[in-house]
Every structure is written in C-alpha cells, then in structure tokens.
C-alpha cells in the first residue's frame, strides 16, 4: 500500500522551483521543505533530487545556456546557491542535509555504485536528508553512451537502487492525461496506471513540460521504479500542500509496482553504460526469453563495440531490437573469434576459457 511507503524519493523539476522571472520560487521551495519536514518527523526516510542549478547559475551570470559548456559553467555557479536554500530551509526544522552530486558513471561502475549505496544508506541511518543533483560540471552529457541526462532518470535510479518504496516526481502538471491538456480542454487525468503499456507511453508523446525532462522521461522513470517493485507518482507542485497529499489515490497519477528485479539485475537493466552490442540468432533469442537460458557463443552472429570482460552489453535480434542486457564474460575481441562456435571449442580457439557462456544467466536481464 502506498501509504506504508517508508523511504521516499522526491524529484523537483526546474519548472516548479522557478518563478516566471526565472528566479528561485521561494514560496514553492519553502512549502516543500515545510511539508517534507512533516513527513520526516512522522518517521519517513527522505531523499531529494533537485534540478535548478543550471537555471539559477545562468540567471546569476547573465548568460544563455546554448552550449553544454555554458550549461556546465552555469550549474557550477547555481548548484551551491540551490543547495544553500535547501540546507538553510531544512535547518530551520532541525534537519541536516547532505549534498550528493552524481554522474552516470557512479551508477554504471559497480564499485562506485556500491560505494554510493553505502554512503546514502549511512546518511539515512543518521537521519540526514541527501539532496541530490546531477554533477553537471563534470557530466560528459554530450557523450553518446550516457544513459541519464535528466533528473527524472536520475531520481528513478536513486529510488530503485536505494530500495525506496516510492518516487514522487513533482512537476508543474497534474499528472498523465489521456490527451495533451494544453491543447484539449476535455483532457482527463489518469489517476491510476497499473502497467506502463505502449498505449500509455503513446499518451506521453508531445506532452513535453519544458526543462530537460518531459512526460516521456517521467514515464521512463516510472517504468524503472515500478519494475523494481516501487510505486511512482507524478504530482503538481503548484497544488497547495501537495507533499502531504501524496498517499491520496486521487492526487496526481499513481503508477503501481509490477515486478521486482533483484539488485544486480536492476543495475544491469537500468544504470549502465552500454559498451557494445551482440546480435544473436532466433534460437538464442528464444532460449533467453522463453527458457531463461544464458547466452552461448554459438548463437552470436555479430559483435559491435570495443568492450572488456565484465562490461555491460546490449543483446539484439536480427531486426536490431534490443531484448536483453548482460555482463559479458569475454572481451569483444575474444567473442569475435568464438562467435558461431560451440562452447567446447573455446579453449581450442582462445587458449583459455572463463566460462561456457558468453553471458551467464544471473548476469542477463530480459528488457
Ligand atoms: N541538473 C540540472 C540542473 O540542476 C537539471 C537536469 C534536469 O532538470 O533534468 O539544472
């Protein structure tokens, strides 16, 4: 039940933290702080993912943010301003905060990820509220293989990896509508989503909300958390005292949990730099999807990318559709030599063998 949620991640978007002049909206921010403090005092564990660094910094520097470098510079100026406001506000309620700035690599590198988990757990144990943002100043967001570039995705990763119970994405729209509410007056709010189907995903198309995220990234975030066994919610931060209403079914859109992947599989499925691609034949695809088997060299038709043993690769069918991800047991160069060959030939070809499987089933996730 959503009201039993103990650990809650709140994500606040730039649009809801800024007023029309582009300045920080203190009235919104302070009311969030006040209501979160109320939940905190009820014994909830809270993590906050906040946007707004780029916007605040750009305003301060009087620069536009047309390039990545300008954005990164603006974020470096805006981040301490943003953090200062959160910290100051929570201090008034006797609550200590911590600043955590993250890049994609902090999730994709398993060592960093495990260390991040430990730090965040320690902070929560010590009754601290972590205030998280993307580390924009150093995030190589222009690189292709980066898999989070907006705070919707980041908040979903934080929530699913930190064993939260609920992710609340606080935006400037009431939730998911059956049509774009900005165009259609009779658009209806969908208050309950049991499963994010392709038809639900279609509703998000074109309903961009400004900022880096939009309804599409919110749905992607909701998908990540619901498949990790959590609830997700989109609510409108302009509704007075919305934070106190998050457990109410009639507020915003609630996404229900529908699967519960074990931790390592969540890490593989959602938080990864994909370093390469293996195209497999139909037999291998069927074995993986229907029979939950591992990936053998014999089913591999094509190897793309330059990756090392232990890195994450995407597994695609002949049409190029990605249907699984996994941790490779072999370097890409090795796989090129053993693709299409039986496992019992691996030793003969390579001179060594780590495993019969190229991806063992415990390191394989169907997506
Ligand atoms: N990290 C960005 C900022 O603080 C926000 C990214 C986003 O809104 O998704 O400005």
Residue ranges covered by each domain of the chain: 2-260, 274-366
Distance 22 CA to ligand 1 centre (A): 14
Residue 206, pLDDT score: 55
Partners of 102 in the β-ladder: 134
Is 328 close to ligand 1, i.e. is its CB under 6 Å away? Answer: no
Quickly count: other Cβ atoms within 10 Å of residue 252's Cβ: 26
Q: Which ligand 1 atom minimizes the distance to the CA of 82?
A: 4
| Rounded Cα distance, 38 and 36, in Å | 5
Do the domains spanning 2-260 and 274-366 agree at the CATH topology level? no
Q: Which pTM was predicted?
A: 0.79
* 132 Cβ inside 6 Å of ligand 1: no
pLDDT at position 146? 44
| Contact (Cβ atoms closer than 8 angstroms) between residue 326 and residue 309 | no
Ligand 1 centroid–CA 303 distance in Å is 35
Q: Can you tell me the distance from the alpha carbon of 330 to that of 324, in angstroms, rounded to the nearest whole number?
A: 17
Q: Tell me what pLDDT residue 147 has.
A: 43
pLDDT of residue 105: 79
CB 254 within 8 A of CB 192: yes
Mutate to test the pocket of ligand 1, among 10, 24, 50, 52 (most ligand atoms within 8 A of CB): 52
Q: What is the pLDDT of residue 214?
A: 73
Residue to mutate, 134, 157, 158, 211, ligand 1, most ligand atoms under 8 Å from C-beta: 134
Distance 212 CA to ligand 1 centre (A): 7
> For residues 198 and 202, what is the distance between their CA atoms, to the nearest angstrom?
6
- Could you tell me if 230 and 165 are in contact, meaning their C-beta atoms sit under 8 angstroms apart? yes
d(CA 201, CA 216): 7
Pocket probe mutation, ligand 1, options 22, 59, 150, max atoms within 8 Å of Cβ:
150
DSSP 156-202: HHHHHHTT-SEEEEEESS-SEESS-TTT-TT--EE-EESS--HHHHH
Q: How many CA atoms lie within 13 A of 71 on its CB side?
A: 16
Q: Tell me the torsion sign for CA atoms 153, 154, 159, 163.
A: positive
Residue nearest to atom 2 of ligand 1 (CA): 51
**Strand partners for 136:** none
Cα-Cα-Cα-Cα torsion 359, 360, 362, 363, nearest 10 degrees, comes to -20
Q: What is the atom index within ligand 1 of the atom nearest the CA of 136?
A: 1
Q: Are 278 and 357 in contact (CB under 8 A)?
A: no
134 lines ligand 1 (CB under 6 A): yes
The confidence score (pLDDT) of residue 140 equals: 61
pLDDT at residue 255, as a whole number: 96
Instruction: Please work out whether the CB of residue 51 comes within 6 Å of at least one atom of ligand 1.
Output: yes
Distance 72 CA to ligand 1 centre (A): 10
| Closest ligand 1 atom, residue 149 Cα | 9
DSSP-based three-state secondary structure for 214: coil
CATH number attached to the domain at 2-260? 3.40.1160.10
Query: Side by side, which strands form the sheet with 253-255?
Result: 97-102, 129-134, 45-50, 7-12, 166-171, 231-236, 253-255, 192-193
- Tell me the average confidence (pLDDT) per consecutive run of 10 residues in the chain, 367 residues long: 93 91 91 97 97 92 87 93 97 98 84 91 97 86 50 91 93 89 87 91 63 74 90 95 92 89 79 85 94 93 94 94 94 96 94 93 89
Note the pLDDT of residue 144.
41
C-beta 135 within 6 A of ligand 1: no
Q: Is the domain 274-366 a CATH 3.50.50.60 member? A: no
Considering only CA atoms, which of 69, 33, 71, 68 is closest in space to residue 53? 71
């Amino acid at each position: 039940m959503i009201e039993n949620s103990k650990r809650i991640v709140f994500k606040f978007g730039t649009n809801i933290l800024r007023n029309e002049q582009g300045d920080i909206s203190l009235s919104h921010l302070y009311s969030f702080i006040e209501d979160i403090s109320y939940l905190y005092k009820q014994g909830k564990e809270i993590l906050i993912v906040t946007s707004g660094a780029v916007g605040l910094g750009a305003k301060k520097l009087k620069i536009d943010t047309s390039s990545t470098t300008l954005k990164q510079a603006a974020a470096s100026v805006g981040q301490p301003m943003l953090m200062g406001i959160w910290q100051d506000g929570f201090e008034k309620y006797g609550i200590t905060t911590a600043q955590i700035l993250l890049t994609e690599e902090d999730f994709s590198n398993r060592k960093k990820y495990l260390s991040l988990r430990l730090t965040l757990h320690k902070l929560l144990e010590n009754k601290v509220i972590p205030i998280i943002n993307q580390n924009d100043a150093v995030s190589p967001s222009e690189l292709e293989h980066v898999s989070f570039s907006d705070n919707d995705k980041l908040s979903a990763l934080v929530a699913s990896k930190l064993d939260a119970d609920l992710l609340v994405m606080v935006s400037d729209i009431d939730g998911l509508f059956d049509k774009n509410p900005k165009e259609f007056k009779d658009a209806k709010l969908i208050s309950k989503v049991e499963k994010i189907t392709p038809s639900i995903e279609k509703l998000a198309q074109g309903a961009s909300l400004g900022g880096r995220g939009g309804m599409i990234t919110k749905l992607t975030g909701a998908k990540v958390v619901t498949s990790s066994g959590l609830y997700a919610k989109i609510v409108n931060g302009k509704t007075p005292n919305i934070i106190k209403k998050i457990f109410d079914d009639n507020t915003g859109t609630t996404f229900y949990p529908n699967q519960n992947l074990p931790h390592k599989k969540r890490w593989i499925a959602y938080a990864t730099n994909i370093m390469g691609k293996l195209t497999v034949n139909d037999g291998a695809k069927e074995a993986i999807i229907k029979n939950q088997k591992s990936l053998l060299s014999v089913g591999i038709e094509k190897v793309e990318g330059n990756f090392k043993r232990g890195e994450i690769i995407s597994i695609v069918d002949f049409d190029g559709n990605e249907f699984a991800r996994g941790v490779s047991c072999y370097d890409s160069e090795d796989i090129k030599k053993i693709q299409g060959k039986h496992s019992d030939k691996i030793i003969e070809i390579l001179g060594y063998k780590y495993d019969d499987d190229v991806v063992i089933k415990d390191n394989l996730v169907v997506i």
